Amino acid sequence: MAGITITEVSGLLNSVYGNFMYPIAKMIEDYGAAKDRDTRLKELFNFESSTHFAESINSMTGFEGFKPVEEKGAYPADHVQESFNKLFKHVQWLDSFRVSRVMVDDDLIGAVKRMANRFLSGYDWTRERFGAALYGAAISGQKDLTFAGKVFENAPASADGKPVFDTEHPSKIDPTFMQSNCFEDAFSQTVLSKAQASMIDFRDDMGHILEIVPDTILIPNDAEARRTVFSVVGAHSEPDTANNNFNYHFDSWNVVTWPMLNEFIPPGTATTGTFPWILIAKDFMKQFDGAVWYEREPLSIKAYEDHNTDDSVWAGRARWSAGFFDWRAFCIGGVARGSTL
């Protein structure tokens, strides 16, 4: 998490609260400097900064490439055209807590420090829950996300207007050419190999193979999911057989288990008897914005005195937006609505 800015308002730190509240302000500043609870989010989103009200991502089709030309021949004119685009509108996030005059008079600084710590942890918790909610909505095939009472239109959708995991992603140039990154198959060594090959074979809008190489497996916090996935990617030889053939998946994957994800996967989403699992190509995701998180304004906290109640108020504010753009950075398996590998 980025550093936290504290703004003093109405001379609060010079009032009756002064000596009492200074340690709280110092704790908040130290928290912002030392804590980075976005580690998991940074594995699953491409983080970008923004200085605008919103950010528009516009993709382009590929060039046709160089052509053989006879001696003295003219240079052929190549061209690209605009492909799908998507707008990310930044959202303001607010929260506050109050410290009563009684708490100050009774010198309950320990209790107030705990309140401040929970306030800051709540900011980190909100961000991770929002990220998990986006992935959960994508897993369940939604194009909109409702979070904390607000509808985030198209946030879990791909730029082509489809859910980010879908069996029919169209080409901008040829809308009849469809590709799938959504499959029903349960996780196994054979299925992982097929899914990996499918991603490598993903095509751009021109129909050219992109050779996208996935390197990360995302799973919910589930005992069977952990056992199954790690038995495949952590075994030197072929798993569940007596063969000593080398398992080429061994030590080739980064496995991310996300407990927060469990809350946002609706019942009935997974294929019966299995669990949803996602392959992610992190390099492609970061280069072409598979999932993107825009930081517009980092968390800032202002402190002021409510003269009507004699409370001191600590109010936090930040602005960010997040969502999906290019579906090709991902592939999902184990979902009931998917096609078969």
7-24 burial code (b ≥16 CB/10 A, e <16): eeeeebbeeebeebbeeb
CB-based burial label for 235 (10 Å; 0-12, 13-18, 19+)? middle
Average pLDDT value for the chain: 84
- Per-residue pLDDT at 272: 86
69 assigned to some structural domain: no
22 assigned to some structural domain: yes
Type of residue at 111: A
User: Which of 87, 31, 39, 96 is closest to 318 using CA atoms?
Assistant: 96
Helix H or strand E segment including 92: strand 91-99
Please give the DSSP secondary-structure letter assigned to residue 159.
Answer: T
52 assigned to some structural domain: yes
Please report which confidence band the pLDDT of residue 175 belongs to, taking 50, 70 and 90 as the band edges. Answer: confident
- Per-residue pLDDT at 10: 47
162 assigned to some structural domain: yes
> Is the confidence at residue 235, as pLDDT, over 80?
no
75 assigned to some structural domain: no
- Per-residue pLDDT at 236: 66
- Per-residue pLDDT at 9: 45
Please tell me the least confidently modeled range out of 1-10, 17-26, 97-106, 272-281. Answer: 1-10
Please report which confidence band the pLDDT of residue 201 belongs to, taking 50, 70 and 90 as the band edges. Answer: very high
What pTM does this model have? 0.86
- In total, the chain counts a number of residues equal to 341
338 assigned to some structural domain: no
- Per-residue pLDDT at 36: 61
Total structural domains within the chain: 1
Per-residue pLDDT tens digits for 112-165: 777 777 888 888 899 999 999 999 999 999 999 999 999 999 999 999 999 999
339 assigned to some structural domain: no
72 assigned to some structural domain: no
Residue that has been written with the tokens 């495949």 in this structure: 232
Give the residue numbers spanning the domain of 226: 5-61+86-333
Helices 189-200 and 223-233 pack at an angle, to 10 degrees, of 70
CATH number at residue 173: 3.90.1690
